[in-house]
Amino acid sequence: MENINLSLAQVHDLAVRVLTTNGMDADHAAAIARVITAGQRDECHSHGIYRLIVCVKSLREGKLNGHARPVTQDVSAAVVRVNADFGYSQLAFEMGLPLLVEKARQIGIAALAINDCFHFSALWPEVEAIASTGLAALAMTPSHSWVAPAGGTKPVFGTNPIAFAWPREGLEPFVFDFATSAIARGDIELHRRTDQAIPLGWAVDNFGRPTTDPVAALQGAMLTFGGHKGSALAAMVELIAGPLIGDLTSLESQKFDAGVGATPCHGELILAFNPAILGGARASTGAKHAESMFDAIVGQGARLPSQRRFDARVRSATRGVEVPAQLYNDIMALVKD
């Protein structure tokens, strides 16, 4: 299939144009355009311009508020809350970020709780934004109940990603961002669309039997990664990015969706850690020990988690990004005059 080359500025402008002409306020559209451009730039294709299709669908179906006005609350010395007002999470995150960073700088650790947000993006743009200020970051969010607990066969958990970033002086941060499910739901959908079998271990069918059939998997339940340990982590994500911040579990989010199949709506928890305060007089020694550990990983030929993304980022900065012509046309067709 033919590709089209776009500069990062063109990707950003395309996203803004698609979203604003479909009735989204300019500040929301700009915040979403930034993460979509970052996804495309890092060759995370499922988090690039492809997501605009889902955004526009959610806007047109009226499930999502394109005019949402997030409200920031300075809860305590350590906690910021942003109520996203049932808009997408990006603008809420950007509004809460400065206060989160200020609090963590002052007292060593702080939490940003985002409530009532629709969540469609990867978490790495958020933990990277925090790491760029010299802080470490941990972020989690539930989704819709698609994943069975270890020892069970019925969906309870979401795909429940965990993302972490550690700042490195003069280098890209150490970053990971992964689902606690065995695989992303989109990977099963991709197998369904191309009529391919899925590996055992990804899912069970509606009767709880291991399955290689993607259709049966989507009707049954996905499995967690790493057996009972992954299942325990998935439960933790539910609890601390849901009930802890007074928000929904994936089960409750699924109910809230009421069969529409929109982007999951729930909460998100983001923690920021300041090594200067938590490490105190030994902070700079700590940073050196971290670098020795990275050297020991890379030095034996293993890879740091986000290396592929960072390599793509360097390429995209000079060469722009390649987008399938069909996808580009589909997205241009979403622009309203």
Q: One symbol per residue from 246 to 265: x for binding its own copies (CB under 8 A), - otherwise; what is it?
A: xxxx-xx-------------
Query: Which residue in 56, 97, 147, 245 binds its own copies (CB under 8 A)?
Result: 245
Q: Applying CB under 8 A, does 71 fall inside the site for its own copies?
A: no
Range in contact with its own copies (rule: CB under 8 A) among 26-34, 94-102, 145-153, 319-327: 145-153
Name the residue nearer to its own copies (CB basis): 255 or 336.
255
Which entry of 12, 28, 47, 191 is annotated as an active-site residue? 47
Q: Applying CB under 8 A, does 225 fall inside the site for its own copies?
A: yes
Calculate ∠ Cα 46-48-50, nearest 5°: 70
Q: Applying CB under 8 A, does 149 fall inside the site for its own copies?
A: yes
Give the side-chain half-sphere CA count within 13 A for 321. 26
CA distances for 333 relative to 18, 30, 53, 155, 330, angstroms: 9, 20, 10, 36, 5
Dump the DSSP string for 229-256. Answer: HHHHHHHHHHHHTTGGGT---HHHHHHH
Range in contact with its own copies (rule: CB under 8 A) among 46-54, 222-230, 318-326, 328-336: 222-230
> What is the residue whose two structure tokens read 């409750």?
252
Q: Applying CB under 8 A, does 170 fall inside the site for its own copies?
A: no
Query: Which residue in 236, 257, 322, 328 binds its own copies (CB under 8 A)?
Result: 236
Q: One symbol per residue from 100 to 119: x for binding its own copies (CB under 8 A), - otherwise; what is it?
A: ------xxxxxx-x-x----
Range in contact with its own copies (rule: CB under 8 A) among 7-15, 199-207, 229-237, 319-327: 229-237
Locate 178 and state its tokens. Answer: 């992964």
User: Judging by DSSP bridges, how do beta strands 265-273 and 321-324 pair with one another?
Assistant: unpaired
Query: Which residue in 42, 128, 172, 238 binds its own copies (CB under 8 A)?
Result: 238
Spatial separation of the C-alpha atoms in residues 51 and 257, rounded to whole Å? 19
Q: Applying CB under 8 A, does 193 fall inside the site for its own copies?
A: no
Calculate ∠ Cα 55-59-63, nearest 5°: 110
- Phi/psi at 221 (5° precision): -145, 140
Query: Which residue in 41, 63, 81, 144 binds its own copies (CB under 8 A)?
Result: 81
